[in-house]
Structure 1
Amino acid sequence: LNDNRAVLRSDSLLDSDRAARNADLGLAYRTIGFEASLDGVARDAIEDDPRSGASHRLMGDAYANKSGLETARLSELLQSRLRTPLGSRPAEAYQLVPALPVLDGPRAMSPDETTALFLTRPAQFQAGLLLGSQDTRGLSLTGSAASDKTQASVSAFDLRSDGFGDAADLAISGQRLELRLAPSAATSIVGELIHSDRSGSNAAQRLFEEAGDPDRTILTRRDSGRLSLRHAPAVNEEWLLSAAAGQIEKRDTVAIVFPRSPLPPFGPLTYTNENDSHVNFHDLGLHYSRMMGATSFQVGGSAYRSREQSATVEELSDPRFPPIDPTSARYSVEHDSAYGYLDQRLGKSLSLLLGAEYQHFVDSRISSVQRLNGKIGVAYRPAPGTEIRAAIFQTMKGDYWREESLEPTRFNGFEQSFDDLNGTTATRLAVAAQRRFAGGALLGGEWSTRSLSIPNLGCGEFCRAPWRELRHSVFAELPMGARMALSARWQYESLEQEGPIRQAAVPVSLHTELLPLGLWLRISPELSAEIEAVRMRQKGTMFSVGGLEQRQESVWLANLGMRFQRPLDRWYVEAGVRNLFDQEFAFQNTDMRDEARTPLFYPERSVYLRVGVSF
């Protein structure tokens, strides 16, 4: 060879290059509100290089605007942290809190979190400030220092809000410490300590006021530690080993006021129920992946154990009633799993994906599960920019308190880690297609159905009830030069109980239709604006005293946001208003989390201001 040598790169390195490009491209899509494009490039980045920490971090951000996928989001952030090189931006503590109960959830205090995914430097600092209606205020601080073989980081946040209506005030705070060691280029060790305090009401927006558990005040304190090892002996091979342990203290307080006591003087009577729970858990996970030309595979397994002690005290406000004896109970969860995934590329345009997982789940409160889940999918790319995907696969939901996992959160690009109730088994059939046109326009859609077997929901105790969930969407995104971008999306979701209907605690059917229309404008090099109109329609059916009752809601909402940031500046200011015309409406949140959930909409006009700095 002469001095003009050709530089040859292996298929694995080319895949890594594509993953890096996709992760970087996702930042631009996020800025202009192209959520479908963000989701697509995050999916492609992980497919090209599942060992990229930036790809998993981008996927975690893609989950941020979706309801019922907090387990998937937190798992992606864990997988990102284990793969992050020294000197990278550390994870912020507030992003590791599930279902943060403010609008925008994990994007609330740092909407540009995904910036600088590949930037490494000896020291990093980020701060985010949030102020808004309902007396909302939050502050997040994160810093790190790195040397050739070590990195230490610390992060803390505090968030408070008055909430809506009669809901108790929200107060959430947390801290995270991390020490990262890299004894060699192929090996890294990560240690984490995380603490969080959370108080507030479980009250959520409801189409049916009586749906779900009674409104109650919930106090939750969580302490956990995690020690993880990553070893990558080659560019196409990786081992992950992660162990976690922790404890949770939780107190639920329910106060029900009866307008008339049966005893004279027949005034109001208050019934109070206070439940204290103490949970200890430990979790061990192992993951191995390798790429060999057109073939890649991932295998792994995990073992999870938890023990819970619960004590309940009940009392009436009138001392003339006899006291109620306190009760106590013990519960346990054992969950063992093993999984394997194979991705075989059959030429340049066709891929076959196969998967299997063994699940053994024993929860003393529900019927146990032991089963083998199968998965099969096909991805077809007949031309550049065109993709057709189809898959059918089975899943099972583990323990409520197990929020992180090393297992892939998607199969063939379709979500498989849902926030279902403990022990829920499901079979999902999904089809998707999209086309990227010249100039960057995107048009696509997705259709899916999930057959659910949910323990104790609609049939009593130690039984399973059949439910069906539908998720359909059609989306279009159109960039119009450097100063304007348009987006539109139609989204339909439904959850309906099948077979004999005996459930009175939740709606037996709920159909939700959303139509968000977005416009992004670059007003000047420093100033951009985002305008959104959202049509929300919802219809539900629920048991009432007189039998089945139907309710429905339909409303148009307007949102406006402005962002100011000079090129190359390390700070930004963002302000906006949600529900601009102060529309009053009811909405049933289908998120099954026990604590306060991330709201999808605000039932009154809400103004916010965000300030961020990073260097």
Structure 2
Amino acid sequence: MGTRLCKIVVFISAIALIPMATISHAEETGQCKNWVASVAAVVGKVDAKRHGQQAWTPVLRNNTYCAGDQIRADKASKATLVFTNETLVTLDEHTAITINQVENDGPSILELVKGIAHFISRVPRSLKVNTPFVNAAIEGTEFVVEVGDNETNVTVFEGTVLTANQQGELRVTNNETSKTLKGEAPQKILMARPRDAVQWAIYFPPVAKGEKHDEQTTKSKAHAAITAIVNNQDNALALAKEAVELAPDAAANHIALSYAWQSKFNLPKAIDSAVTATEKEPDNAIAWARLAEMQLSIGELSRAQDSATKASALDADNARAQTILGYAYLTQIKIANARETFEKAIELDQSDPLPHLGLGLAMIRKNELKQGRREIEIAAALDPNNSIIRSYLGKAYYEEKRGPLDADQFEMAKALDPNDPTPYFYDAIRKQTENDPIGALKDINKSIELNDNRAVYRSSLQLDQDEAARSVSLARIYQDLGFEQTALLEGWKSVISDPANHSAHRFLADSYTALPRHELASASELLQSQLLQPLNTIPIRPQQSYSDLGILSGTGPSDSSFNEYTPLFSREETRVQFDVIGGGNNTFGNDLVVSGMSENTAFSIGQFKYKTDGYRENNDLEHDIFNAFLQYKVSDRSSLQFEYQNRSTDQGDRVQSITGDFGAADRRTIDTDTTRIGYNYKISSNSNFLISISDNNEKDVTHIERNQGIVFPFPNPLIVILDNNSNQSGITSEIQYLHTNTKFKYILGAGNLSRDRDRTVTSQVFTGGAPLGPSSTVSNSDKRQNNNIYSYNNLTILPNLTIILGASYDDFNSQILKERDLFSPKLGVIVNISNDTTLRLAAFKSLTRATLNTKTIEPSQVAGFNQFFNDFDGVVSTRYGIALDSKSSNNVAYGIELTGRELTYAPNSVDIEQYELLHRVYLNSIISKNITVSASYIFDRYESKTVLPSMPDMVRTQSLPISVKLTNSNGIHTGIIATGVDQETRLSSTDYREQFISTDVWVGYRFPNRRGEINLLLKNITNSQFNFQDRNFQTSDPAQPQFVPDRTLYLNLNLTL
């Protein structure tokens, strides 16, 4: 009985202890039920007292707290809390708060008993802060509250806060401060630097172990230099230099100097200082971590990993070394490793915002956008005055389509660091997608100005490759304004300054689409961009790879609008983009592209269809194109690409002639298959090796009928019918080595192009509907071979002088065309007369090679003068040019370009000499925040010294396009372009002249949240009738029409899903 009773007592006692054990466990784990706040970071001694408890217990990262709990930060201590209603609160030292009330439908109430707290809240009316002297109700904002012995100060950085007590109330907005004394109503006070209110929260990277580097404890010159970087980079550099002079053997001083040089965007000197720090103190872990950081910033991944590993070996608790390793893993797309390493770095130093930013980027890469954005917000809370973190937070809001939060962050970043091009670049993209191309252009110009006068963008974070943002096409900004020549100028400058930058080539490729006869150059630049690009979700539009589609500008889904909606973060996601157009002459076209990315693989699959009956009889055209693209990242240095394209084209006579003649029964069908393999190996941070091999097969069938008139003795006209069946196959192999440096860039390359063609021509003469004798069939074969090597050297002789020296050698062989061994020198000169004026000169020779895919990875231009046109195979051309481009302000740009081109063509081993002049004068002007005007005069003259049958001897075309474009923040945009044309043509010793004006008008609407746009276009609104001589006689491929004598209405819809 006694034993049984004892067991019962023990059992009951155990039951009674369960709640106590549960409470004890909750205290130990730092969790509570129905919690409303979690701890993101703790620095120093921070304690909490839970509701209903008497004891104060240490606050640890990831602890959670509920209503009624109290938290206090001791001396030299800080804590950052994340509330469930998306509010972040950072407590300064000697600060105490109580979480008083949490409502599901109303605001949470936080009591700030004493001290200073920094608040970030993006949800309106989600938080109310009570203090002894005044209460603050927020409306989606960022602000600081400081409670003293007899007053409360509220400083607002963004948004609105309503401060109120029994004596009155006051609404406080951006960069305003209210002061409330005990027993008085709140009053506004003037603060010269409102941001100083949060100076206590700024993070300063360590330069020596065990030191506290906040402002209050800074003692040495090195520490002072680090502190000064926030507000005065010049002073920081001076202090750091002084520290080195006073103690040249102290690693901390050289580390400080490295940070100072980086703040001035001088990475080479920043690296040198970091190297010196490791040499002065080889066992200094902070020095090695700093060196790792700088090595990673310039792409020296393996060296950065070695340095970071050494830093960790010297000091296992070195958080910065772990952070750099995390970014190295991120660059290698080892996301799991990156997240684990960032977490470790956070545990080692919870005050450092950089690992939180890295963790956020890793999460976003895995398409965890909300969680990643939250980590970036925590980084902003840990370092509120950090411009680059604000830029990245703005990007995250942009991705979440949470305007105007993204705009607010970009503006804040601009104010925090006016010399950083990053926020201007991001904000330009945002403004463009919100139908503000004028604002976008001003931000792009500012970004270019701050980025060494280059449009090639690189985030100032340096550790993050930021490839998604760098892939966004900027050409659309200029095209929407009608500033195509300015876009070309910036594209040329970008490629010349950084020929290994994929975004620069993409910029130029998109800019070339606005120019006639530059289709080959555009396709070539696109190929170079693809070979150099990292993994991304940019859709590859099937039609972009072809230079001979012959679609009238604006009347097909063939513009560069797709890239406008590319994301600013690389995410593992699948995206769908759809474009459709319909209009007069039974025109219909569409393209559908599905693109996506996983950890090491990216793909794009698309189809393009287009058909039209054309503006006259037998002017129809139909395309059906399919494209599949796969990219695999083999390692952090190398990637492979596989691409397959299939094209079917059926068309009538698309040629425009000054006489108006055309072939009423002429037909042509083209069927092609192209398979391409590409390889990119990054030898070092400034050297790349590229390989491109494509296998091409084409079947080309033409049917031509010509009326020879009545020939004696036949009473009826003679009709000559020619059927040409051609089967071609070829392999194009190219290799290229690129090396870039501050002073020089050189490109070395070689190629082998082979092309076999079997052709059968059947001719038949008819009269009165009956054949006149038997048909005649002639078959021939032609093997064309081209071996070439080339070298281009961009030499920066002076800061304002760049000289391009290059040469190519071609060994061209053909059984039909004249064989050539051609040495082609290249010379270009670029003089930046001032920041706003550039002089360009060039003289070079080139050969049109016998390739089926009509594109190459050889540079397409010299000093901004295009060298590859859609000429016949074997054409030798020599081009001379001079140009002056200038802008008097952000609102006006103008320039003049004068070029001449000599061509030698030998279809039957006899040289035919031709000459071209192409001159252009342009003026672009921003009239107001919504209106732009552009005008240009173009003089184009062609002349042949040899008279050829059915080909003009001379064509002189003068055109004067003038456009006015209007945009509005409501998404609507409209415009008009009127082009006056005066053309003279000499054909078969007869002179012709046509003068006309062709006017196009359009109106469009951009859908909210970057979902696409719809456009209505009316071509040739006055239905002007004319004949026009195009340049089809100079090429075997269809030329893109410039003008059509027919009024036609088109409706275009673009959707991003």
TM-score norm. by structure 1 comes to 0.93
Residue 594 of structure 2: aligned partner: 143
Distance in 2 (alpha carbons) for counterparts of 1:440 and 1:185: 43
Residue 876 of structure 2: aligned partner: 425
Q: CA deviation at 1:216?
A: 2.4
- Identify the match of residue 456 of structure 2 among 19, 22, 28: 19
- Identify the match of residue 733 of structure 2 among 278, 284, 298: 284
Distance in 2 (alpha carbons) for counterparts of 1:15 and 1:176: 38
Does the CA contact (< 8 Å) of 1:512 and 1:539 recur in 2? Answer: yes
Does the CA contact (< 8 Å) of 2:475 and 2:511 recur in 1? Answer: no
What is the identity, as a one-letter code, of the residue corresponding to 1:91?
Answer: I
- Identify the match of residue 536 of structure 1 among 960, 966, 981: 981
Residue 690 of structure 2: aligned partner: 240
Sequence identity (%): 21
Distance in 1 (alpha carbons) for counterparts of 2:947 and 2:1044: 32
Write out per-residue CA displacement over residues 242-268 of structure 1, whole angstroms, 9 at most, x where no aligned residue.
Answer: 11112101101012346658788x456
Does the CA contact (< 8 Å) of 2:753 and 2:851 recur in 1? Answer: no
Secondary structure in structure 2 of the residue aligned to 1:115? helix
Q: CA deviation at 1:330?
A: 0.6
Residue 1052 of structure 2: aligned partner: 610
Which range moved further: 124-133 or 230-239?
230-239
What is the identity, as a one-letter code, of the residue corresponding to 1:412?
Answer: A
Q: Cα gap change, 1:400/1:583 in structure 2, threshold over 3 Å: closer, same or farther?
A: farther
Within 5 Å, give how 1:146-545 maps onto structure 2.
Answer: 146-209=597-660, 216-257=666-707, 266-267=715-716, 270-317=719-766, 318-319=769-770, 321-399=772-850, 401-456=852-907, 461-498=908-945, 501-543=946-988
What is the identity, as a one-letter code, of the residue corresponding to 2:456?
Answer: A
Distance in 1 (alpha carbons) for counterparts of 2:565 and 2:491: 15
Does the CA contact (< 8 Å) of 2:665 and 2:704 recur in 1? Answer: yes
What is the identity, as a one-letter code, of the residue corresponding to 1:140?
Answer: D
Residue 582 of structure 1: aligned partner: 1023
Looking at secondary structure, tell me which structure has more helix per residue. 2
- Identify the match of residue 64 of structure 1 among 513, 536, 555: 513
Q: Cα gap change, 1:569/1:256 in structure 2, threshold over 3 Å: closer, same or farther?
A: same
Q: CA deviation at 1:74?
A: 0.9
Distance in 1 (alpha carbons) for counterparts of 2:912 and 2:724: 27
Write out per-residue CA displacement over residues 113-144 of structure 1, whole angstroms, 9 at most, x where no aligned residue.
Answer: 34146743322221100111111100100011
Q: Cα gap change, 1:466/1:257 in structure 2, threshold over 3 Å: closer, same or farther?
A: closer
Q: Cα gap change, 1:158/1:537 in structure 2, threshold over 3 Å: closer, same or farther?
A: same
Distance in 1 (alpha carbons) for counterparts of 2:1027 and 2:497: 43
Distance in 2 (alpha carbons) for counterparts of 1:77 and 1:534: 29
Larger radius of gyration: 2
Distance in 1 (alpha carbons) for counterparts of 2:755 and 2:554: 27
Q: Cα gap change, 1:479/1:224 in structure 2, threshold over 3 Å: closer, same or farther?
A: same
Secondary structure in structure 1 of the residue aligned to 2:585? coil
Distance in 1 (alpha carbons) for counterparts of 2:793 and 2:692: 22
Q: Cα gap change, 1:227/1:111 in structure 2, threshold over 3 Å: closer, same or farther?
A: closer
Secondary structure in structure 2 of the residue aligned to 1:568? helix
Which range moved further: 470-479 or 27-36?
27-36
Write out per-residue CA displacement over residues 260-318 of structure 1, whole angstroms, 9 at most, x where no aligned residue.
Answer: 58788x45654322111110100100011111221111110100001111112223455
Does the CA contact (< 8 Å) of 1:424 and 1:454 recur in 2? Answer: yes
Distance in 2 (alpha carbons) for counterparts of 1:16 and 1:444: 18
Q: CA deviation at 1:191?
A: 0.3
Write out per-residue CA displacement over residues 535-570 of structure 1, whole angstroms, 9 at most, x where no aligned residue.
Answer: 011001121xxxx11001111121101110144331
Secondary structure in structure 1 of the residue aligned to 2:682? strand
Q: CA deviation at 1:395?
A: 0.9
Report how many aligned residue pairs link the two structures.
Answer: 603
Distance in 1 (alpha carbons) for counterparts of 2:717 and 2:992: 30
Which range moved further: 378-387 or 63-72?
63-72
Which range moved further: 587-596 or 340-349?
587-596
Write out per-residue CA displacement over residues 5-48 of structure 1, whole angstroms, 9 at most, x where no aligned residue.
Answer: 44355379667984027976533212212111111111122122
Q: Cα gap change, 1:48/1:203 in structure 2, threshold over 3 Å: closer, same or farther?
A: same
Secondary structure in structure 1 of the residue aligned to 2:1010? coil
Secondary structure in structure 1 of the residue aligned to 2:593? strand
Q: CA deviation at 1:88?
A: 3.0
Does the CA contact (< 8 Å) of 2:557 and 2:591 recur in 1? Answer: no
Q: Cα gap change, 1:16/1:156 in structure 2, threshold over 3 Å: closer, same or farther?
A: farther
Which range moved further: 73-82 or 563-572?
563-572
Q: CA deviation at 1:490?
A: 0.4
Distance in 1 (alpha carbons) for counterparts of 2:660 and 2:1027: 9
Secondary structure in structure 2 of the residue aligned to 1:71? helix
Write out per-residue CA displacement over residues 424-445 of structure 1, whole angstroms, 9 at most, x where no aligned residue.
Answer: 1111110000112222310101
Residue 42 of structure 1: aligned partner: 491
What is the identity, as a one-letter code, of the residue corresponding to 1:143?
Answer: V
Q: Cα gap change, 1:298/1:142 in structure 2, threshold over 3 Å: closer, same or farther?
A: same
Q: Cα gap change, 1:393/1:202 in structure 2, threshold over 3 Å: closer, same or farther?
A: same
Q: Cα gap change, 1:363/1:10 in structure 2, threshold over 3 Å: closer, same or farther?
A: farther
Q: Cα gap change, 1:80/1:311 in structure 2, threshold over 3 Å: closer, same or farther?
A: same
TM-score norm. by structure 2 comes to 0.55
Residue 995 of structure 2: aligned partner: 554
Distance in 2 (alpha carbons) for counterparts of 1:425 and 1:320: 42
Distance in 2 (alpha carbons) for counterparts of 1:24 and 1:366: 40
Residue 128 of structure 1: aligned partner: 579
Write out per-residue CA displacement over residues 30-78 of structure 1, whole angstroms, 9 at most, x where no aligned residue.
Answer: 2212111111111122122222222212211111122222221111111
Q: Cα gap change, 1:138/1:348 in structure 2, threshold over 3 Å: closer, same or farther?
A: same
Secondary structure in structure 1 of the residue aligned to 2:798? coil
Distance in 2 (alpha carbons) for counterparts of 1:69 and 1:344: 26
Looking at secondary structure, tell me which structure has more strand per residue. 1
Does the CA contact (< 8 Å) of 2:510 and 2:560 recur in 1? Answer: no
Write out per-residue CA displacement over residues 449-492 of structure 1, whole angstroms, 9 at most, x where no aligned residue.
Answer: 11111224xxxx21012211101000000112320111000001
Distance in 2 (alpha carbons) for counterparts of 1:348 and 1:116: 36
RMSD between superposed Cα atoms in Å? 2.4
Q: CA deviation at 1:178?
A: 1.1
Residue 81 of structure 1: aligned partner: 530
Q: Cα gap change, 1:556/1:169 in structure 2, threshold over 3 Å: closer, same or farther?
A: closer
Write out per-residue CA displacement over residues 166-205 of structure 1, whole angstroms, 9 at most, x where no aligned residue.
Answer: 2242111010111110022221100001000011024322
Q: Cα gap change, 1:385/1:177 in structure 2, threshold over 3 Å: closer, same or farther?
A: same
Which range moved further: 44-53 or 141-150?
44-53
Distance in 2 (alpha carbons) for counterparts of 1:438 and 1:16: 15
Distance in 2 (alpha carbons) for counterparts of 1:10 and 1:275: 61
Larger relative contact order (CA 8 Å, sep ≥ 6):
1
Write out per-residue CA displacement over residues 348-404 of structure 1, whole angstroms, 9 at most, x where no aligned residue.
Answer: 111111010001111222111111111112111121111001111111111262411
Q: Cα gap change, 1:358/1:118 in structure 2, threshold over 3 Å: closer, same or farther?
A: farther
What is the identity, as a one-letter code, of the residue corresponding to 2:996?
Answer: V
Q: CA deviation at 1:164?
A: 2.4
What is the identity, as a one-letter code, of the residue corresponding to 2:1036?
Answer: D
